[in-house]
A and B are shown apart, each in its own frame.
Chain A
Amino acid sequence: MKRHLKLILLFIRATVQIQLEYRSGVFGRTLANILSTGTSVMLLWAMFRQVPSIGGWSFDQVLVLVGIVTTIEFVVEIWFYPSLSKITTYVQRGEFDVLLIKPVASQFLVTFRHLQVMELTGLVIGLTVIGVGMHRVGSVTSFNILLLAIFLVASVVIIYSLYLALSTLAFWFTRIEEVASMIWLHSTAGSFPVAAYPPWARLLFTFVLPVAFVTNVPAQAATGRLSWEWGLGALAFATFVFCGATWLWNLAIRNYSSASS
């Protein structure tokens, strides 16, 4: 465990060193992030000028939801996109062999090798929006914050597992580069309460593209409206997809036949 933590720190240092070469981008991207979150909130406000509630949620409650979507989007951008989307490249170029002979689990290596910690500002924006929303709802209690933290972790585990599973498919179909777009779609669909969709789409957004568990459950936890069925459901779902993705990864490794000589 200690060895793994040490490795993660080393990886972060290496990635930061590369990023410092291109630091001009950080300021611009922070500005872009503020602009895009601002536009989302403006659109939300425009919607609520026309209707009193969306799927039974008030403006402030949906605001918390937008904050959660933003936070998760940035976890993807900082962590999963830079790390996991390289799997395809490794496999295509046959570089994967090098990873396999390293003395740590390959899943650990592909998961933590490229953490773009310089982009943390985005995370701050997301958490700020959640905070403002919770304050306006009047649900800022330590219990709700604890619940929010637990279910945010569950969301991150779900997204990670789906991302890993989709990227693992690269072993069989070597051209899946735009896996990330699936996740972006997720962030649009997830910016609204699942109850706002027609019934057939609710099923789709719970089990196929699980925005119900990933965004709705943490938002309900933060605003003190989480039912225990949904809470347990989210935790069970997270465990299930994590085990599934790890299993798929190991299966892929066993069947991997190098692309290089």
Chain B
Amino acid sequence: MPSFRAIRALLALNYGISLQYRAQSVLWMINGTVPLIMMLIWLQLAKGGPIGGYDATTFAQYFLFMFLARQSTPTWVIYLMDRGVKNGELTPYLLRPMHPVWHYASEHWGELLCRLPIILPIVAVGLTIADAWSWSLLAHLPAFVLGLMMAWLINFTVHMTVGLIAFWSDNALGYDTVIYQLYIMLGGVVVPVELFPEAVQSILAWTPFPYVLDFPVRVMIGRIEGFDVLAGFGIQLFWIAVLGALFTWGWRKALRQYSAAGA
């Protein structure tokens, strides 16, 4: 684990890089507006009355916080690992006195710091237009933030683990698309997970996907309460531990395999 000063320096560096390329960030953010588009459709559909226990206010809250969750957890680490292996960019990272994971993670945090000042006002304005503010949101906020941080870790470790494929195959990016699709479509970005058919929901419960986006969002809007929140955090921790162990094991094998192209 690197020192606090080292992490702060990395963060400042990556924040600067992200600021420089903010035109690109904006385009990425446009891509992340799918929850907002889906909100428009569900709000129209809900005009005829609540659907599966979701009324207009619930839909507005669900998709606005889904937008926030989606925008705070994007991961392009498979792309970074693929590039790192292919042109040997990974080699200098390996020489530094900290795990390359910290470089990758801080690049994502720097980007997030750039995004939040744009994302948060959009959520606030959306809640105002949809007249969906409520005091209970404030009470759920700490649990939401905690859930979101763990969600970020799950998503990041899933991607890191899949990214290890880059050490053996030149097609790791193909898997990035698969994981991305699962993360988006099974995460609740298009249809809230609670509105999935029950059979699908019970299969999904055995995968990490609903714990990345849907779980924290449902905690925020009060559709998961009391003991179930703690149980959800427990399952999130379980996935972080399992995936983290898998990654650590795979990383060791991968490094033995790594032949440092371009070094």
Contact = CB atoms under 8 A, between A and B. Distances in A.
A24 B27 contact: no
Please classify how large the interface on chain B is, using the bins under 10, 10 to 19, 20 to 34, 35 or more.
35 or more
A176 to B, nearest CB: 7
Contacts of A32: 174-175, 177-178, 181
A178 B51 contact: no
A120 B28 CA distance: 27
A173 B23 contact: yes
Contact of A188 (B37, B52, B178, B191): B37
A12 interface: no
Contact of A198 (B44, B48, B185): B44
A46 B40 contact: no
Interface in B2-43: 21, 23-24, 27-28, 30-31, 33-34, 37-38, 40-41, 43
A50 B51 contact: yes
Contact of B175 (A28, A179, A201): A28
A47 B40 contact: no
B139 interface: no
A22 B170 contact: yes
B79 to A, nearest CB: 12
A175 interface: yes
Interface in A191-215: 192, 196-198, 201
B162 interface: no
Contact of B41 (A29, A54, A179, A182): A54
Contacts, number: 94
Interface in A46-77: 46-47, 49-51, 54-55
A185 B34 contact: yes
A192 B41 contact: yes
Contact of B169 (A24, A43, A192): A24
B116 interface: no
B185 A39 contact: yes
B51 A175 contact: no
Interface string A142-154: 0000000000000
B117 interface: no
Interface stretch (B140-148, B192-200, B234-242): B192-200
Contacts of A55: 44
A178 B45 contact: no
Contacts of A28: 171, 174-175
A177 interface: yes
A198 B40 CA distance: 7
Interface string B170-192: 11001101100110011000110
Contacts of A244: none
B43 A24 contact: no
A233 interface: no
B181 A36 contact: yes
A43 B31 contact: no
Contacts of B196: 46
The 9 closest A-B pairs by CB, nearest first: A181-B31, A25-B171, A178-B27, A36-B181, A32-B178, A39-B185, A50-B51, A28-B174, A188-B34
14 contacts: A25-B170, A29-B177, A36-B177, A39-B185, A46-B196, A46-B197, A50-B195, A175-B21, A175-B23, A175-B24, A177-B24, A178-B24, A189-B37, A197-B44
